[in-house]
Amino acid sequence: MSDASGTAPLERAMARALELGLRGPAWTRNPQVGCVLLGPDGSVLAEGWHRGAGTPHAEVDALSKLPEGGARGATAVVTLEPCNHTGLTGPCSEALIAAGVARVVYAVPDLSPQADGGAERLAAAGVEVIGGVLRGLVEDALVVWLTASRLGRPFVTAKWASSLDGRIAAADGTSKWITGPDARTDVHLRRAQAGAILVGTGTVLADDPALTARTEAGDLLPHQPIAVALGERPIPEDAAVRRHPGGFRSFDGRDLGAVLAALWDEGVRHVFVEGGPTLESALLRAGLVDEVLVYLAPVVLGGGRLATGDLGIGSIADARHMELVSADTIGADVRIVARPRREFEED
- Which CATH number covers residue 52? 3.40.140.10
Is residue 180 within 8 Å of residue 332, measured between CB atoms? yes
Q: Which pLDDT score, from 0 to 100, does residue 344 have?
A: 57
- For residue 52, tell me if it sits in a domain: yes
Q: Which pLDDT score, from 0 to 100, does residue 113 have?
A: 60
Is 274 assigned a catalytic role? no
The catalytic position among 59, 81, 274, 280 is 59
d(CA 275, CA 273) in angstroms, rounded, equals 6
Does 331 share its domain with 188? Answer: yes
In this model, does residue 7 exceed pLDDT 90?
no
Does 130 share its domain with 183? Answer: no
Q: Bigger pLDDT: 94 or 173?
A: 94
- For residue 346, tell me if it sits in a domain: no
Does 158 share its domain with 116? Answer: no
Does 217 share its domain with 282? Answer: yes
Report pLDDT digits (tens) over 219-231.
999 999 999 999 9
Q: Bigger pLDDT: 17 or 277?
A: 17
Q: Compute the average pLDDT of residues 325-341.
A: 95
Counted domains in the chain = 2
pLDDT band at 9 (very low <50, low <70, confident <90, very high): very high
In this model, does residue 342 exceed pLDDT 90?
no
Does 96 share its domain with 159? Answer: no
Task: Give the residue from 77, 111, 141 where a domain finishes.
Answer: 141
Q: Compute the average pLDDT of residues 155-175.
A: 88
Q: Mean pLDDT check: name the lowest of 54-63, 107-116, 118-127, 306-315.
A: 107-116
Q: Compute the average pLDDT of residues 244-266.
A: 95
CB atoms within 10 A of CB 216: 11
- For residue 2, tell me if it sits in a domain: no
pLDDT band at 347 (very low <50, low <70, confident <90, very high): very low
Handedness of CA 172, 176, 180, 186 (dihedral sign): positive
pTM of the model: 0.89
Q: Which pLDDT score, from 0 to 100, does residue 115 have?
A: 55
Does 27 share its domain with 121? Answer: yes
Q: Which pLDDT score, from 0 to 100, does residue 4 have?
A: 46
Is residue 297 within 8 Å of residue 333, measured between CB atoms? yes
d(CA 324, CA 125) in angstroms, rounded, equals 43
At residue 87, φ and ψ (nearest 5 deg) are -120, -120
Q: Compute the average pLDDT of residues 263-286.
A: 93
Report pLDDT digits (tens) over 77-89.
999 999 887 666 6
Host domain of residue 173 = 154-339
d(CA 85, CA 92) in angstroms, rounded, equals 8
Question: What string of DSSP letters covers 249-294?
Answer: EEE--S-HHHHHHHHHHTT--EEEE---HHHHHHHHHTT--SEEEE
**DSSP, res 337:** E
- For residue 196, tell me if it sits in a domain: yes
| Cβ neighbours for 256, distance < 8 A, ≥ 6 positions apart | 230, 282, 283, 286, 288
Task: Give the residue from 112, 141, 170 where a domain finishes.
Answer: 141
